[in-house]
Amino acid sequence: MQSIKSISDELSRWVTTNEFHSPSEWLDRAMELTVLLPDLMNEKVKAEVIFEQKILDIMDSAEKKMSKAEAESRAKILPKTKGDMNDYEFYRYLENREKSVMALCQICKKRTETNL
């Protein structure tokens, strides 16, 4: 099975070059993305939990009482932990990735319906 990235790249190429593909090919790609989506969603939830834990850790370690909003602001600017992203940036990346995969599924389904 392909990865979300390889399927996304393939679909992007199809659209930008205006290649003709049968409705079944579009539907196949949508189904592949749909099968891969739960793993992405699980990874996003794990990243969200890690980020929320950072907020709680900041609130607990504060010398005086701190609001969640202030702790969240501080957690968003913590040092990078995931290569070139911190926990907040990684969570947002996964959240946006999930939305783009869902949009790609919609495009595939639309192409199947319109037979473009």
Identify the pLDDT of residue 86: 93
**pLDDT at 49 (0 to 100):** 97
pLDDT of residue 115: 64
The whole-number pLDDT of residue 62 equals 83
CA dist., res. 36 & res. 112, Å (int): 20
pLDDT value at residue 97: 96
Residues in the chain: 116
> How high is the pLDDT of residue 58?
94
CA R_g for the chain? 19
- 34-56 pLDDT, tens digit per residue, is 999 999 999 999 999 999 999 99
For residue 113, give both structure tokens: 């319906």
pLDDT at 116: 52
Number of folded domains in the chain?
A: 1
Q: What is the pLDDT of residue 82?
A: 75
Q: What does the pLDDT read at residue 104?
A: 93
Structural domain containing residue 10: 4-114
What residues of the chain score a pLDDT lower than 50? none
Q: What pLDDT does 77 receive? A: 93
Instruction: Please state, in angstroms and as integers, the Cα–Cα distance from residue 66 to each residue in 42, 50, 70, 74, 84, following that order.
Output: 30, 19, 7, 11, 28
